[in-house]
Chain A
Amino acid sequence: MAEKKSWLPRWFYQLASPRWCYEFMGRLLPWFGVGTLFLLVAGTLWSLVYAPADYQQGNSFRIIYIHVPAAILAQSCYMLMAIAGAIGLIWKMKVADMVAKSCAPIGATIAILALATGAIWGKPTWGAWWVWDARLTSMLVLLFLYLGVIALHSAMESDTTASQATSVLALVGLVNIPIIKYSVDWWNTLHQPATFTLTEKPAMPTEMWLPLLVMVIGFYCFFAVSLMLRVRNEILRRERRASWVRALLDKV
């Protein structure tokens, strides 16, 4: 039977093959590993030593170089988790389910990092560790969504059912992402408006935002590395009965 030509590119179907993904990620990993190491070391040195201090906050401002990348990444990671979950629901793609599952613990950790650095920054600048304003609260909701996804997944015996349930939860929680992003524009909050936007030039001078950009890209690379490591493990676990995995394990 002649195959109907699909409107989706070939790589999309290649992504559906756990084996292809496993090998592809294996090839990407060293590059991203080196990139992460380089960017994070360079970014940390640059931001902690060479970037200028803020005129009002002095050196306590430097926590921005951890806080902002962590907060951006926590939201991106959630979007990836929801999109991967949707692909898993629609196309029944096992690899997408594995990506969605692997995103949750990484995202939760990053969200905790963003909340913790925010609290540490809040004490000396605002005068409070925590305020129930819209930005902080919606970020806390994001953390709870991650924890909910993790808990729901581990509460279910079958991987397929668990993935379906968590994908639906992730999709429902997706509404929180624009709320986090626009909370500072929609409502009166203690939290300041966005540091980085895609459309506008940042309000800070170049010598301050350039190291921040390096840190953001470094965090993304770090995320890519930890996600690929987790997904590769997940592929091996779920495909343990496949002949290629057995052959691979026999070699070890």
Chain B
Amino acid sequence: MNPKRKQRLFLVMFIVIGVSVAVGLTMFALSQNINLFYSPKQIAAGEAPIDTRIRAGGMVVDGSVKRDQESLTVYFDMTDYESTVTVEFTGILPDLFREGQGIVAQGKMDAQGVFQAVEVLAKHDENYMPPEVADALEAAGKMPTPEAEVFNK
């Protein structure tokens, strides 16, 4: 490779590496802001701002969903296997919402420590499978469940 080309090669490498380092440091500094949601653990630790619109994500606890008979209000607990947050939501839940499902809710923490959600989104994982397989796994008690690290990064 002649010196001229070598010089240009170094220039190209300098651009790529320089930009990567710069962006990497920025991302590292902003990492908390890039997270889409707070986990129940972070909320329990007081990392999430109070009275500000935030998103919280976790798993719907089995058997915790209570529906109000007169209105569309739903109460449920959301966990990351370390802490649990109670969520109150009025409105239509996504089709995928069910117990044991990962969700991301947008709303505010109120004074009682209940998360007042205005929007609930369902979070699914990459374990796609046909219904028969799901039934078989369910019967064998081997259904893959989202791990805590899905919500705590």
- In the complex, per-residue mask of A132-159: 1 if CB is within 8 Å of any chain B CB, else 0: 1110000000000000000000000000
| Contact code string A150-177 (vs B, CB < 8 Å = 1, else 0) | 0000000000000000001001101100
Name B5's contact: one of A90, A128, A175 (CB within 8 Å). A90
Q: Does A89 contact B (CB under 8 A)?
A: yes
User: A91 contacts B133, CB within 8 Å?
Assistant: no
> Could you tell me the distance in whole angstroms from the C-beta of A26 to the nearest C-beta in chain B?
30
Residues A193 and B36 in contact, CB atoms below 8 Å apart: no
- Please report A residues at the B interface, Cβ cutoff 8 Å: 7, 52-57, 61, 64, 86, 89-91, 124-128, 131-134, 168, 171-172, 174-175, 179, 185-190, 192-195, 203-205, 207-208
A134 to B, closest residue via Cβ:
B34
B141 CB to closest chain A CB (Å) equals: 16
User: B residues bordering A, Cβ < 8 Å?
Assistant: 1, 5, 8-9, 11-12, 15-16, 19-20, 23-24, 27, 31, 34-39, 57, 93-96, 104, 119-135, 144, 151-153
Contact status A55-B126, CB under 8 Å: no
9 nearest interchain CB pairs? Answer: A127-B94, A52-B130, A55-B134, A133-B36, A188-B35, A55-B131, A204-B128, A90-B8, A126-B121
> How far, in Å, is B79 (CB) from chain A's closest CB?
15
Q: Which residues of B contact A188 (CB under 8 A)?
A: 35-39, 57, 151-153
Alpha-carbon distance A125/B27, docked complex (angstroms)? 29
How far, in whole Å, are A172 and B95 apart by their CA atoms in the complex?
41
Q: Which of B9, B27, B93, B95 contacts A90 (CB 8 A)?
A: B9
Closest B residue to A6 by beta carbon equals B1
User: When chains A and B are docked, how far (Å) is the Cα of A194 from the Cα of B126?
Assistant: 7
Measured CA separation A168–B15 after assembly (Å): 8
Q: What is the minimal beta-carbon distance from A119 to any residue of chain B, in angstroms?
A: 13
- Tell whether A89 pairs with B8 under 8 Å between CB atoms, given A57-B124, A131-B36, A175-B16: yes
Bound CA span A131–B34, Å: 12
Given A126-B122, A188-B57, also A54-B16 (CB < 8 A): no
Known: A55-B134, A175-B16, A175-B20. A208 touches B129 (CB 8 A): yes
- Shortest CB-to-CB span from A68 to chain B, Å, is 10
20 other A-B residue contacts (CB within 8 Å) besides A187-B153, A188-B153? A52-B130, A55-B129, A55-B135, A57-B96, A90-B8, A124-B94, A126-B121, A127-B119, A127-B122, A171-B19, A175-B19, A175-B24, A185-B153, A187-B34, A188-B37, A188-B151, A190-B37, A190-B57, A205-B130, A207-B130
Taking a contact as CB atoms under 8 Å apart, the answer to whether A193 and B125 are in contact is yes
Residues in A with CB closer than 8 Å to B39 are 188
Chain A residue contacts of B104, Cβ below 8 A? 131, 190
The answer to whether A186 touches B125 (Cβ under 8 A) is no
Let me know if A175 and B130 touch, CB within 8 A. Answer: no
Assuming the contacts A175-B16, A204-B128, asked whether A187 and B120 have C-beta atoms less than 8 A apart, the reply is no
B42 → chain A closest CB, angstroms: 9
